[in-house]
Amino acid sequence: MNKQWSIDKIKEFVENNSESKLLTTEYHGFSQKLLLKCACGSNFEKTFTKFKNKNQRKCDVCQPPKASR
């Protein structure tokens, strides 16, 4: 069964599982990019799926994208 994520649940997940802060105030679905603030102070965007499942929890400066294969 699919778990329904609300903006409050996502904010709680972000705070408990990373040093980033959620800046987005509304959530419209898994394909929406969320605006986050990294611990270094940079803003970055990620979908919640990538943030949650692929551990992309920092900006591209602190956590550079992996080289493509």
pTM of the model: 0.84
Characterize the bridge pairing of strands 33-37 and 21-22: antiparallel
| Cα 37 off chain centre by | 9
Which tens digits make up the pLDDT trace of 4-52? 899 999 999 999 999 999 999 999 988 999 999 999 999 999 999 999 9
Reported as type and span, the H/E element at residue 9 is helix 7-17
Largest CA distance in the chain: 36
